[in-house]
Amino acid sequence: MTREIRIALTGNPNVGKTTLFNALTGSRQHVGNWPGVTVEKKTGRINRNGYEIEVVDLPGTYSLTAYSADEIIARNFLLDEKPDVVVQVVDATNLERNLYLTTQLSELRVPVVIALNMADMAEAQGDAIDRARLSEFLEIPVVRTVGTRGEGLDTLLEAAIKEAKTSPHHEHTVGYGDDAEAKIVTLVDALSADRNLAKRYPLRWLAVKLLEGDENVVSKVREGPASVRVQSILSSIDADEYEAVMADKRYEAIAAILPQVHRTDPKGTTFSDMVDRVVTNRYLGIPIFLALMWGAFELTFTVATPFMTAIDTLVVWLAELAVASIEPAWLGSLIGDGIISGVGAVLIFLPNIFILFLILAFLEDSGYLARAAFIMDRPLYAIGLPGKAFIPMLIGFGCNVPAIMATRSIESEKDRLLTILVNPFMSCSARLPVYVLFAGAFFGAQAGGVMFFLYVLGIVVAIVSAKLFRSTVLPGDVSPFVMEMPPYRLPTAMTSLMHMWSRGSMYLRKAGTIILLGAMVVWALASFPYGVEYGSAESFAGMLGHLIEPLVAPLGFDWKVAVALIFGFLAKEVVVGSLGVLYGTGEETLSEALLADPGLSAATALALMVFVLLYMPCVAALGVIKKETGSWKWTGFAVAYGIVVAWVLAFVVGHLAPFFIGGA
Amino acid sequence: MTGDLCPLALLSAGTEATVADIRAGKGMQTRLFGMGFCPDARVKVQCANRGSLIVSVGDARYALSRGIAMKILVGCAKGVA
């Protein structure tokens, strides 16, 4: 007999929920050492003891009163989807604050199991937690787990299955003092008139949340028959004050049991504190950050060079071989000129991409990312962005899609929208092949400087745009910065490499799907109608390009570039892939072919790189902008604004560049 | 706790204090309570940078911008900058 059980993983941010989820279900969801990595619910399935178990990983939250978009997801799932058992993942090194959420979960009357996670770290710093006594006090099973090493998973699942079967559940809640309790009793009485509500939620929990002034619960009650009485009770009280009193009572209740279950030495200044004194120092903080970024940039481009040359040579050799030896000739051309040249042009940049993702993984896993957000809060505040916007911006260097998702932890909707709108200007890894190709071909020894200029230009455009939007379409104050600083951890080579692989392999997958498709379509357009010279102006590609050419001619772009830009909308690497296909007839490399084209000068190449940096979010980024803003208007705005800015700046750069680079 | 109240933002690094009152907006107040900033909580300033702080509350460390650190009032019986 199989039965289904649904387990929800909840808990404070950065306590290791996703690490535990991955260990339980064998998934590979992204983890990192900063609060807010997980911003949507993820599900996985396992079979255990004849039970079909669905495990749901939720974004972290400090309480059941939600504030930001990711917290709302966690809270709504717990309230409305009614999991059979809730596993609260608790950071064993920070018991007191984690138990604050436990006091709220126990009011929900769902079976709860505590996973005392990172138990190894607590033990290493000399803490001893009496799990049996803690469990007795809370009337909740407490299981020791170490998510990173997969310890305690079996015991945890067994406890969860057992709890899921034991219903109805006891009610064990904090007492809030005579005054508040009296109010709760009258509220419960008033609420019992609303049968629909009473069926779905525990009345005491509703009453507590009403007393705290939880807006979501207030609106749940508003439409129902209990509304009038509840409003009259609430109108006579100050919810802020009750909330403070009740928070105090919860911490008091925790403080009453902690000394009996938790033995810990007083901790002085930790290693993390000492590092923080240096890296967040008033004078050193920003220089250290900039030095790290410069080092990251250098690593991305210099270390990769020998690998790139090797791949490049291989691609050219394979393409030539295919064209020369595959019969019939059209098939040889499709494989050689189309697939190998197109996809190969993009694969050359694999080394850069992997190094970039390795650096990002290190930033995320070490704990420095949260500090960088703090350091940048002041400069960002000055331009109208919250410090938290920094994390999505940095992730944007990898890919704008997860970056835009990461804005969910930004509390204010307006701040969040602003952060989403400027994110596409952060130069993602897909644009990197375009820079490496053109800067390498046209700027030789100055290629590094040119690429650095492009990254900086993206940041500057994001900043200026943010300032502009803040003073026009999205006026308002920036929300204040509050963020937990996780302890520093030295990432292991294994985890960093795994994170690099899981994000970098998406680039590979893209090369095998959308870029391959793009290359084949461009090849077909360049080969037909039947009988035209491959890639000539008479081919479909030529016709399409010439149609668009007038729009981009002022920027110095010819029809081939126009075609590449159109297909670059699918994914920006396709710009390189398309050019690889359109130029892919000789025995030279793509960069030699570009250099030999009389229509392309260094100034044009620079204008093209600027245009590709800014012109519009790719199809995947647009999809996520629509999803996160929920508005076609803002999505359209992002496209239109991007194209205008790209056109203007490419025009300016293209016409000014000759004065600086000697009109090459 | 004796003495006057002052904003957390004015404390210098190394200072310990007890939270007395929080005057932030509704949502932020809830968040701060959940993080452990509630009346009577002991806090210690780890790093201070012109009002932006890294503060420890229990075993957790939080970064706060000056704007929010001004709204957390602490009893400043000793060791005020």
Q: What confidence score (pLDDT) does residue B78 get?
A: 52
Query: What's the whole-number mean pLDDT along residues A54-71?
Result: 93
Residue A322 predicted with pLDDT over 90: no
Strands A262-263 and A128-129: antiparallel
3-state secondary structure of A309: helix
Q: What confidence score (pLDDT) does residue A171 get?
A: 66
B47: nearest CB among A212, A280, A484: A280
- CA dist B36 and B42 (Å) reads 9
**In this structure, are residues B74 and B19 in contact, taking their beta carbons and an 8 Å threshold?**
yes
Tokens of A550: 């007038």
Instruction: Give the confidence band of B8 by pLDDT, cuts at 50, 70, 90.
Output: very high
Distance from CA of A658 to the nearest CA of B (A): 45
Q: What confidence score (pLDDT) does residue A169 get?
A: 62
Q: What confidence score (pLDDT) does residue B55 get?
A: 94
Which has the higher per-residue pLDDT, A651 or A492?
A: A651
Q: What confidence score (pLDDT) does residue A421 get?
A: 95
- CA dist A275 and A283 (Å) reads 14
Looking at every residue in chain A, the average pLDDT score rounds to 89
Residue A527 predicted with pLDDT over 60: yes
Q: Which residues contact A615 (CB under 8 A, 6 or more apart)?
A: A565, A568, A642, A643, A646, A647
Task: Work out the burial of residue A598: count CB atoms within 10 Å of its CB; fewer than 13 is exposed, 13-18 middle, 19 or more buried.
Answer: exposed
- CA dist A551 and A556 (Å) reads 10
**DSSP symbol at A6:** E
B36: nearest CB among A96, A267, A481: A96
How many secondary structure helices (H) and strands (E) does chain B include?
2, 6
Instruction: Give the confidence band of A498 by pLDDT, cuts at 50, 70, 90.
Output: confident
**In this structure, are residues B12 and B81 in contact, taking their beta carbons and an 8 Å threshold?**
yes
Q: Which of A:467-486 have CB within 8 Å of B?
A: 479-486
* A110 phi and psi angles, rounded to 5 deg: -105, 150
Tokens of A160: 């969860």
DSSP string, A204-270: HHHHHHHHHT-HHHHHHHHTSTTHHHHHHHHTTS-HHHHHHHHHHHHHHHHHHHHHHHEE-PPP-S-
B18 CB within 8 Å of a chain A CB: no
How many secondary structure helices (H) and strands (E) does chain A include?
33, 9
Residue A175 predicted with pLDDT over 80: yes
Positive or negative, the Cα torsion across A371, A373, A376, A381?
negative
**In this structure, are residues A367 and A489 in contact, taking their beta carbons and an 8 Å threshold?**
yes
A289 CB within 8 Å of a chain B CB: no
Q: What confidence score (pLDDT) does residue A480 get?
A: 87
Q: Which residues contact A550 (CB under 8 A, 6 or more apart)?
A: none
Q: Which stretches within A528-558 are classed as H helix?
A: 540-552
- Looking at CATH, the fold of the domain delimited by B5-75 is given as SH3 type barrels. (2.30.30)
Tokens of A411: 């509390």
- CA dist A357 and A365 (Å) reads 12
Does B41 sit within 8 Å of A277, measured CB to CB?
no
Q: How many CB atoms lie within 10 A of CB A555?
A: 24
Residue A440 predicted with pLDDT over 80: yes
Domains, chain A: 3-165 (3.40.50.300), 178-263 (1.10.287.1770), 288-479+493-660 (no CATH)
Note if the pTM is more than 0.90: no
A28-38 residue pLDDT tens? 898 899 898 99
Instruction: Give the confidence band of B79 by pLDDT, cuts at 50, 70, 90.
Output: very low
- CA dist A137 and A115 (Å) reads 16
Does A267 sit within 8 Å of B50, measured CB to CB?
no
Q: Which residues contact A583 (CB under 8 A, 6 or more apart)?
A: A535, A560, A590, A593, A594, A597
Residue A189 predicted with pLDDT over 90: yes
A355-389 residue pLDDT tens? 888 998 898 899 999 999 999 988 898 888 988 89
Residue A589 predicted with pLDDT over 80: no
List the beta bridge partners of residue A388: none
Q: How many residues does chain B have?
A: 81
Closest residue of chain A to B67, computed from CA coordinates: A480
Q: Which residue in this structure is represented by tokens 């989403």?
A: A420
Residue A582 predicted with pLDDT over 90: no
Side chain identity, residue A189: D
Q: What confidence score (pLDDT) does residue B80 get?
A: 44
